[in-house]
Amino acid sequence: MGKKLGLLLGAVLLCSLIWYFFLKPHDYVVRFEIKALPGTINQTIKSWGNGLDNAEFLGQNNLSNLKYRIKFNDSIYTYQWKLQSENDSISKVKVYVTDEDHSLANRLAIPFSETDFEKRTKKTVEEFAKALKDHLESFKVSITGRDTIPAKYCACVSLKETQLKKANGMKDYYSLLSGVMAQNNTGLDGSPTIIKTDSLPKRPGIFYKNIEKKPAIRAVYNGNYITSDRAWYALLDYAEKHNIPVDKKPLEIFHTNPNMGGNALEWEAEVFMPIAK
């Protein structure tokens, strides 16, 4: 009996060692919790990563699972970010890190001492967590609930950009649109929409569009328009918690001219998420 138990324990130990040294998909994991939605964290990781000279975005499976490669001197680390939404807008963040060239050495050393690899990994994640907390203080989203997208008419330009570059594109065209409308004394129907007439100015690149009245969930966003998509994630979270089917094509109405600068927390935008028919 004792011999069999010893063999069993030996087999379990051997399997554990094989898994730890050769099959485990990461060398080290860092965890923390924060009051933020996965979409907001996802976009903040990307913004933070873009600010690093030594970081490369490797892709994502979805908003809650993305991967980066970061180079530190002679070492290259892979960061697998996994985000899990909990109650009350709390998210758990797990960062699985692997040293691509020194993985086995790290796994041998980690149980017996705090390695440079561990210290660097903790420091990097702590720096990101601080950047995320600072970002969360730079904007505000207030959900007002069910509402209606008002029927409006607008002058438009077509723009295809990433979320991070959306606001810059808007700033580039705001002066063009407002200038053309002002030159032709076009009547405004409450900024930034216009009054439809038969004598609207014609200019290459500018077209006109009806905004149809439709039911939606509404939020008020205060902050830099670069990150107004944080309201999208809040609206989607609200819709899921209240079992409201939505059409994931948000409409944003900006009430502040970003070219004027000032305190971004005083900028205001209405963000609507249409309710699906």
Chain centre distance of CA 65: 12
**Strand duo 268-274 + 207-211: pairing:** unpaired
Is the peptide bond prior to 245 cis by the omega test (within 30 degrees of 0)? no
Q: What percent of the chain has pLDDT over 70?
A: 86
pLDDT in tens, 186-219: 888 876 688 888 888 888 888 999 999 999 999 9
230 and 180 within one domain: yes
For the residues 162-171, what does the mean pLDDT come to? Answer: 74
* pLDDT for residue 270 is more than 50: yes
pLDDT score recorded for residue 276: 95
pLDDT in tens, 104-129: 666 666 666 688 888 999 999 999 99
161 and 60 within one domain: no
129 and 28 within one domain: yes
> Which pTM value belongs to this model?
0.83
113 and 47 within one domain: yes
Report d(CA 27, CA 44) in Å as an integer. 24
**Domain total in the chain:** 2
User: Which of the four pLDDT bands, split at 50, 70 and 90, describes residue 258?
Assistant: confident
pLDDT in tens, 43-84: 999 999 999 989 999 999 999 999 999 998 888 999 999 999
Report d(CA 101, CA 73) in Å as an integer. 12
253 and 165 within one domain: yes
Q: Describe the strand order of the beta sheet including 251-254 as a list of residue ranges.
A: 140-149, 214-222, 268-274, 251-254
Report d(CA 11, CA 114) in Å as an integer. 29
* pLDDT for residue 10 is more than 70: no
Final residue before a domain boundary, out of 86, 116, 136: 136
pLDDT in tens, 14-33: 444 444 444 455 788 999 99
pLDDT score recorded for residue 49: 93
